[in-house]
């Protein structure tokens, strides 16, 4: 080898070679990778090497999820065939017979060995009867990865091998489930992981500089990585660091929610019978006033610290779903305590306004509230703004932009353990209904209401109220502290410090659980 040859870098980087070696030694190989690290490129080289020898050559079937991916892979293979001086044919298009009536449009390169590299434009229904290796590219983005994998594994019986290569698309995605099954021993296979850090340490940016004619330096590499991470923003952990996001499925895991729940804080429910709104107005007002005095007021007196600002968040409904109100305070350790939850079903507009007015008057040092202003809730929110101040009541239009800006603030409190909410099946169910939809945390489903004797559906109502409570608690305005002559004021001596899993909370010593609350 000449001195000039010694300076020629290897065609593939070390992580590419490691992945190929593992693939060639195992029936099922899975690669979880950072974006644009060249793993598919390396596997194209391997496909050419395995299809070209005269002794035991191997077919390769490449499965992407669209035609452009198939064309790109075949182009890589054609380049490698020329680089390796292999007498391969030019790529040609044909209909691949997968057992369906229409077949699949495919691209193919043939070798003198009698073997081929075939790139399919969509997933096959079946690969039975075929022999060779299968590469499933960007597996996390296939509509039905398990079906594709089942078709591919049919080739393993005759010595074929299957590779699933992909970046992540969420912790609940089938691709991540496959990885977890292999790592837990539930499924035979091997997993290889390549992060951006791994690729850079093994020469990725140096290779980019070589190809593009740029001069490499540590400073230039650091700046390139900084810009790349800035481009991906919050997605960098998943796209570059190979950390599957909890984004494609459930937004908050049950364990995270339950770690932030306490039985000390109640959810009170008021369900009114059909026709309540037709009764005499004075009778209705008396009924609601009695309920507030007998049920809600004792809880406010016993659970709320009189020396702390109070806030509420609300989600509106009139009949089909729940109208929910989450009331809370922030303690000296910056933990947000949702000390009281209120769930209203089939409660008329006027009576909902009575309840909200009551909270503004009686919550200690009440400061701010954020209210759902979609649909019929808009008038209620505007009435509250008119009565209590536009700087204290916000009418929230729950658009995708609002969800995207505010749901993460609530999630951060659950992740950090800086929120305590009532221990309630309904609260858990509502929080579990938050899903990532095209990168936006939203509520799209309904679930049955599990409260004793309840009839109706939940639509993530308490989750919206909590989101609004979190944002209300962030408001930096002075509180309103209203009390009347006949109202009992609790004092600091009524409260005691209690240690929880995440810190300390202030709890009223004399509060005991009351049935159904």
* CB atoms inside a 10 Å sphere around CB 401: 10
Give the integer Cα–Cα distance in Å for 56 and 114.
Answer: 10
Name the DSSP class of 156. Answer: G
- For residue 495, list its beta bridge partners: 508
Threshold 0.85, pTM exceeds: no
Which tokens hold the place of 302?
A: 């016993």
Reference 362, options 399, 331, 325; nearest CA is 325
Give the integer Cα–Cα distance in Å for 314 and 368.
Answer: 11
Distance in Å from the first CA to the final CA of the chain: 83
Q: What backbone phi and psi angles, to 5 degrees, belong to 249?
A: -140, -130
Beta strand residue intervals within 255-365, DSSP E: 261-262, 267-271, 310-315, 323-330, 336-345
Q: What is the pLDDT of residue 513?
A: 29
The contacts of residue 226 (CB under 8 Å, 6+ apart) are none
CA angle 106, 109, 115 (to 5 degrees): 105
Give the integer Cα–Cα distance in Å for 84 and 97.
Answer: 30
Helix (H) or strand (E) segment spanning residue 158: none
Q: What is the pLDDT of residue 439?
A: 58
Name the DSSP class of 321. Answer: S
Whether residue 133 contacts residue 155, with contact meaning beta carbons closer than 8 Å, is answered with yes
Length of the chain equals: 517
CA angle 177, 181, 187 (to 5 degrees): 135
Per-residue pLDDT of the chain (517 residues; tens, 9 = 90+): 343 344 456 889 999 999 999 999 999 999 999 998 999 999 999 999 999 988 889 999 999 888 889 999 999 999 999 999 888 889 999 888 887 777 888 999 999 999 999 999 877 877 877 899 999 999 998 888 888 899 899 899 888 999 999 999 887 788 988 988 888 777 899 999 999 999 999 999 999 999 999 999 999 999 999 999 998 887 888 899 998 876 445 688 888 899 999 999 999 999 998 999 899 999 999 999 999 999 999 999 999 999 999 999 999 988 777 899 999 999 999 999 999 999 999 999 999 999 999 999 999 999 999 999 988 889 999 999 999 999 999 999 988 888 877 888 899 899 889 999 999 989 998 998 888 776 578 887 666 665 545 566 788 899 999 999 999 999 888 776 555 555 444 443 443 333 333 333 333 333 332 222 2
Whether residue 496 contacts residue 504, with contact meaning beta carbons closer than 8 Å, is answered with no
Q: What is the pLDDT of residue 517?
A: 24
Give the integer Cα–Cα distance in Å for 141 and 120.
Answer: 15
Give the integer Cα–Cα distance in Å for 110 and 430.
Answer: 56
* CB atoms inside a 10 Å sphere around CB 492: 9
- Strands 366-372 and 393-396, by their bridges, are parallel
Burial label for 18, CB within 10 Å (0-12, 13-18, 19+), is middle
Q: What backbone phi and psi angles, to 5 degrees, belong to 139?
A: -60, -30
CA angle 41, 47, 48 (to 5 degrees): 100
Give the integer Cα–Cα distance in Å for 111 and 503.
Answer: 68
- Strands 504-508 and 495-499, by their bridges, are antiparallel
Helix (H) or strand (E) segment spanning residue 61: strand 60-63
Q: What is the pLDDT of residue 36?
A: 86
Give the integer Cα–Cα distance in Å for 397 and 114.
Answer: 64
**209, HSE (Cβ side, Cα atoms, 13 Å):** 15
The contacts of residue 189 (CB under 8 Å, 6+ apart) are 26, 27, 28, 29, 30, 178, 182
Give the integer Cα–Cα distance in Å for 145 and 227.
Answer: 33
- Strands 440-443 and 434-437, by their bridges, are antiparallel
Q: What is the 3-class SS of 369-438, one letter each residue?
A: EEEECCCCHHHHHHHHHHHHCCCCEEEECCCHHHHHHHHHHHHHHHHHCCEEEECCHHHHHHHHCEEEEC
């Amino acid at each position: 080898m000449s001195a000039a040859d010694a300076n020629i870098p290897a065609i593939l980087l070390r992580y590419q070679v490691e992945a190929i070696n593992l693939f060639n030694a195992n029936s099922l190989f899975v690669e979880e990778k950072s974006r644009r690290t060249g793993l598919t490129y390396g596997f194209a080289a391997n496909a050419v090497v395995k299809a070209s020898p005269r002794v035991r050559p191997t077919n390769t079937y490449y499965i992407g999820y669209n035609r452009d991916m198939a064309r790109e892979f075949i182009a890589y293979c054609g380049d490698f065939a020329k680089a390796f001086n292999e007498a391969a044919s030019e790529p040609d298009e044909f209909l691949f017979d997968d057992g369906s009536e229409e077949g699949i449009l495919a691209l193919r390169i043939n070798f003198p060995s009698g073997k081929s590299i075939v790139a399919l434009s969509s997933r096959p229904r079946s690969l039975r009867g075929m022999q060779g290796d299968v590469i499933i590219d960007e597996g996390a983005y296939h509509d039905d990865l398990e079906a594709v994998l089942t078709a591919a594994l049919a080739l393993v019986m005759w010595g074929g091998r299957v590779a699933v290569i992909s970046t992540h698309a969420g912790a609940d995605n089938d691709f991540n489930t496959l990885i977890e099954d292999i790592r837990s021993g539930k499924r035979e296979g091997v997993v290889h992981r390549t992060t951006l850090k791994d690729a850079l340490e093994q020469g990725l940016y140096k290779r980019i500089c070589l190809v593009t004619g740029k001069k490499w330096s540590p400073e230039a590499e650091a700046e390139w990585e900084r810009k790349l991470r800035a481009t991906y923003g919050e997605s960098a952990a998943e796209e570059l660091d190979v950390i599957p996001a909890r984004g494609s499925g459930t937004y908050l895991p049950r364990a995270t929610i339950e770690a932030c729940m306490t039985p000390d804080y109640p959810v009170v429910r008021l369900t009114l019978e059909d026709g309540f709104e037709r009764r005499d107005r004075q009778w209705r007002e008396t009924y609601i006033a009695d309920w507030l005095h007998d049920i809600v007021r004792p809880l406010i007196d016993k659970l709320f610290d009189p020396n702390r600002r109070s806030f509420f968040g609300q989600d509106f409904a009139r009949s089909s779903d729940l109208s929910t109100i989450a009331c809370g305070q922030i303690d000296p350790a910056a933990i947000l305590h949702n000390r009281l939850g209120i769930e209203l079903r089939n409660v008329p507009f006027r009576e909902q306004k009575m309840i909200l007015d009551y909270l503004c008057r009686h919550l200690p040092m009440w400061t701010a509230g954020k209210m759902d202003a979609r649909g019929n809730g808009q008038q209620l929110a505007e009435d509250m703004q008119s009565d209590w101040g536009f700087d204290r009541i916000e009418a929230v239009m729950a658009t995708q932009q609002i969800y995207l800006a505010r749901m993460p603030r609530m999630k951060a409190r659950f992740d950090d353990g800086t929120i305590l909410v009532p221990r309630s099946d309904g609260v858990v169910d509502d929080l579990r209904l938050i899903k990532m939809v095209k990168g936006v945390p939203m509520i799209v489903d309904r679930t049955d209401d599990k409260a004793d004797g309840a009839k109706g559906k939940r639509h993530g109502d308490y989750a919206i109220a909590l989101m609004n409570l979190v944002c209300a608690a962030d408001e930096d305005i002075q509180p309103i502290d209203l009390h009347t002559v006949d109202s009992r004021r609790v004092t600091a001596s009524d409260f005691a410090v209690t240690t929880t899993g995440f810190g300390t909370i202030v709890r009223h010593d004399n509060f005991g659980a009351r049935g159904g609350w």
